[in-house]
């Protein structure tokens, strides 16, 4: 396979200044609703048909709330991974993790982080940069209680990012945790949410001939957002 020959000519949409709302978090919610198939009846039909076709040809469905999280440790070394968005509000973007995981440790050392969302069926991308802080414990507890029991036990059983000798050891730890908590599973002290407060958001819409539409919202000192079109 020659990777240089892999190309896609984007033709499924366009984006212009009047199409964007003043608040980028509201704009994100609009795009996310479209990616999730929430919106007009015709759009829902088109998205459902597209997903059906993907299933027919054997492509697994994508998680529309999947995002790449980029962090940098205290030595300036970057790392990335996919995590799931679990909320967005006026404060920013919310996700959950083990605070002692690699991403948790890096965010403790350096709270500056970035997110990337990519929805290939819509030929759209959103890039977010800002600072992360821990979610209040009460909110982490509320989300933790909503998780399936198996996932709750997994949060206790997994020392995320640490070396394990084999799969059996991990499963034994899970079984020991299940025996330890036969009833309700409490929130682990090292597990909870982060909220990334955005300072910059970019909305990208693929266009033909690589002349993509790209807009950047930059947060201003007076609390407003400055919106500019960027060259692709």
d(CA 34, CA 97): 27
Question: What span, in angstroms and rounded, lies between the C-alpha atoms of 222 and 71?
Answer: 27
Report the distance separating Cα 207 and Cα 121, nearest Å: 13
Q: What is the CA radius of gyration of the chain?
A: 20
Cα separation, 77 vs 161, in Å, equals 16
Residues belonging to the active site? 210
The H or E element that residue 215 is part of is: strand 213-219
Strand locations in 85-168 (E): 87-89, 92-98, 112-119, 124-134
């Amino acid at each position: 396979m020659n990777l240089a020959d892999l190309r896609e000519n984007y033709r499924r949409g366009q984006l212009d200044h009047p199409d964007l709302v003043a608040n980028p978090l509201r704009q994100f919610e609009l795009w996310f609703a479209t990616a999730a198939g929430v919106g007009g009846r015709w759009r829902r039909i088109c998205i459902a048909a597209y997903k059906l076709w993907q299933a027919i040809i054997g492509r697994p469905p994508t998680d529309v709330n999947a995002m790449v999280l980029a962090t940098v440790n205290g030595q300036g070394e970057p790392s990335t991974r996919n995590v799931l968005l679990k909320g967005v509000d006026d404060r920013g973007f919310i996700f959950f993790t083990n605070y002692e995981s690699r991403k948790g440790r890096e965010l403790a050392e350096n709270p500056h982080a970035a997110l990337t969302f990519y929805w290939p069926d819509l030929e759209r991308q959103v890039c977010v940069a800002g600072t992360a802080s821990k979610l209040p414990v009460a909110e982490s507890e509320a989300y933790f209680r909503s998780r399936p029991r198996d996932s709750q036990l997994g949060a206790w059983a997994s020392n995320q990012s640490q070396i394990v000798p084999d799969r059996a050891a991990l499963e034994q730890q899970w079984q020991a945790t299940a025996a330890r908590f036969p009833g309700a599973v409490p929130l682990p002290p090292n597990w909870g949410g982060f909220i990334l407060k955005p300072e910059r958001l970019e909305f990208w819409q693929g266009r033909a001939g690589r002349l993509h539409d790209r807009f950047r919202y930059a947060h201003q000192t007076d609390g407003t957002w400055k919106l500019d079109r960027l060259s692709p």
